[in-house]
Structure 1
């Protein structure tokens, strides 16, 4: 009996040690997304020529939200049709958000399953091994990728509002790329996660179209509404452990594929799969409503049926988010009368009002972000306030994005 008793004690001690180690690993691995962007097949005008990606280094600069002592990088072949071979991936601190130069003392190679290169299967993302690399909140990070062979089909985020540099040869550790070509798109890069030991650390995913993506924002200026929100979260000691990932795609729709997959189709990858997401702000619908009558007028019955389909797509997102324990916030659709592409009339405006009424109604979304109330002109509520308008009567400019980011109540993000 004594032998059995000692054996049970020993077993209990071993199990306790294993449990403690597992808990330690779980705490150390409390990953939250600090920066992210949605992937799509780039339009022909936004894809890089294949020869430019043969034996090429691509250096991209991203703006983080939360900081941390450890990070990992996601590379993406989400829309590739063949395996993607990256021979090396490095990170470094850039000298400026609008130049290719890095501080070489901060350059560090990433590994993938312990190796310097990685082969990413078609349709997949690959996450680097964690690397001890302290990053400050709201800081910039340069990620340099080297490809030996160009992908048959590129995976990209065209609406970066950030400059990417590319040269031939393996220059991932080069202090500068003086002869680089440059373009304002991102390629093959989807997320940066940081490890956080803070209790209640989490992230917000912003799922949207070009108004979330930042059309009309300043290139390399990081003044989208999501950037403004991230800065406000960092300025408040109660929310500075909350990250923000911008999952906007210009031209995106709820119901049909446009620029990138429709919002419902990409919900799993762009929201549910993001590390540590506890909240999602859904700001989609203007392209659906505006595009409804671009070609020709339709009947009132067709308008009503389409509004019902838009609302049904929101309901699907709500159900999916709740199934994963994520709070979902609905953002009202902003005014767009006067927009040259959509040229909405009174019936289109009635559709917008009907959808916004549903978004605002209790019992649907967990909370409402009323961007319509923020941007509309009080004298002409179907139009954007001129001071916030980028000039096309659809997209805000930097002042409008600032107003949007500042209008979101931080108490919506209670831990």
Structure 2
């Protein structure tokens, strides 16, 4: 899907710019979604030669290395309070600047996240999951976030095995030591001083819909916003914040594509549908204390990898949902990208839509069934979400309708959230209601994302 707010540069000059540009040209330049590959398709791809192997094999190969890398394992009681799904930065020559993560060596990166649960002990997880070289962090801190880059409270230093600094090998993820400080629900600032020898990362979450901030030198313990300039709208080096919850209340994982990622929602507003669901969860005494984490990736597909849009959901499901600390319930909304852009023409240079293959309703249903089987085997509940209107041509709309009919009628999911019924225009069911349309006829507006959250029965999560 298009990456509406992301704008990254290959490097950040020592005299930092006043802002990273966020403009319509960037939005239009990113307006692409990749298609899918079934197992049969992958057999065909093997005959396409080195180009297919290089692009499609990248994420899977690095993922295998990540699984073999050292990872800290939290003890009982730790559960995820916030998370983001990581994806590889495209590694091809002549990639456009918006598909490149910024080089931040010798600078401090301050990233703002929002948690909806309170706690007194916290652990931050750093990640170099898709990296091909070490990443070194000289210092890190956690604090309540204020306005812009300012902090609303004193920053507290994070340590790793008792040390302020840490080096992550390629594929490695590490948890910080427990940090004892009472924090209420709200925005938090994570400040990382990046070693000056660390190159631009190969791991990120591209579309954060949240500004981050960059300064020169180590400013991890500075409360003032003055040293910082506006940085990229991506999350870098971080993928989870854990809270010590005893007894664990359980984590709800929202996983999918750009509609879960919050594409075209208001910047810095936390207006994605998982954010609005988290507000409802915390306000209801029957579900309060349960975290909702967003594992959507814009452009992601159910069945195939992409050089730009990450591993397929079937490939990343274990890491991003099943083994996430404290995960208990999973909401899956994905498939529109598999359907919508299977007819996209090949592109010269970086082709985010590769491989260009056809998809049927049967292909998607088989993929959902694999997710259901794996979730139930792991003791998790899994809820399907109907695919939302996208003003598709008739042949692709028929696939969407067939998938939604199966979701509503066939057994398998532990429950179904009918986002399609909530968002569609009664007079034109293939289209979004005007009030719920962000303007591209695919992604909901802030009002649409709120309506999605309000359509989810909280009884799904009450026990």
TM-score above 0.5, yes or no: yes
1:254 aligns with 2:302: yes
Higher relative contact order (CA 8 A, sep 6+): 2
Aligned partners of 1:89, 1:154: CA distance in 2, in Å?
Answer: 20
Contact kept? 1:145, 1:172, Cα under 8 Å: yes
8 Å CA contact 1:28, 1:196 repeated in 2: no
Q: CA separation of 1:31/1:77 partners in 2, compared to 1, >3 Å: closer, same or farther?
A: same
* 2:54 corresponding residue in structure 1: none
- 2:433 is aligned with 1:385: yes
Q: Choose the corresponding residue for 1:41, options 63, 85, 88.
A: 88
Matched, 1:364 2:412: yes
Question: Alignment RMSD, CA only?
Answer: 1.9
> How big is each residue's C-alpha offset from its partner over 1:206-239, in whole Å with a ceiling of 9 and x where there is no partner?
1111100001111110111001000000101110
TM-score by length of 1: 0.86
The partner residue of 1:334 within 378, 382, 388 is 388
| Conserved 8 A contact 1:377-1:384 | yes
8 Å contact kept, 2:101–2:204: no
Counterpart position of 2:46: none
Q: Tell me how far 1:176 sits from its aligned partner.
A: 2.2
- CA 1:70–1:188 in 2, change beyond 3 Å: closer, same or farther? same
- Deviations along 1:53-89, whole A, 9 cap, x unmatched? 1211100000112221111111111111112111111
CA distance in 2, matches of 1:242, 1:49: 34
Q: Tell me the secondary structure at the aligned position of residue 329 of structure 1.
A: strand
Shift of 1:152: 5.4
Corresponding residue of 1:278: 328
Query: Is contact 1:88-1:146 (8 Å) kept?
Result: yes
User: Unpaired segments of 5 or more residues in structure 2?
Assistant: 1-73, 91-96, 347-356
Q: Do the aligned partners of 2:105 and 2:199 also contact (CA within 8 Å) in 1? A: no
Which ranges in structure 1 are unaligned for 5 or more consecutive residues? Answer: 1-26, 297-301, 338-343
Contact 1:32 1:196 in 2 (8 A): yes
* Deviation of the 1:414 alpha carbon: 2.9
Alignment of 1:193 with 2:246, yes or no, is no
- Return the TM-score normalized by structure 2: 0.77
Partner of 2:139: 88
Of 223, 229, 232, the match for 1:183:
232
Aligned residue in 1 for 2:115: 64
Whether the 8 Å CA contact 2:102–2:200 is kept in 1: the answer is: no
Give the distance between the partners of 2:206 and 2:75, measured in 1 at CA: 34
Choose the corresponding residue for 1:229, options 277, 281, 286: 277
Q: 1:216 aligns with which of 264, 267, 270?
A: 264
Please identify, of 389-398 and 117-126, the stretch whose mean Cα deviation from structure 2 is larger. 117-126
Hey, what does 1:142 align to over in structure 2?
A: 189
| Structure label with greater radius of gyration | 1
Q: Equivalences for 1:266-305 in 2 at 5 Å? A: 266-295=316-345
Q: Could you say which residue in structure 1 is the equivalent of 2:456? A: 408
Q: CA deviation at 1:250?
A: 0.6
Aligned partners of 2:102 and 2:201 also within 8 Å? no
**Post-superposition shift, 1:101?**
0.6
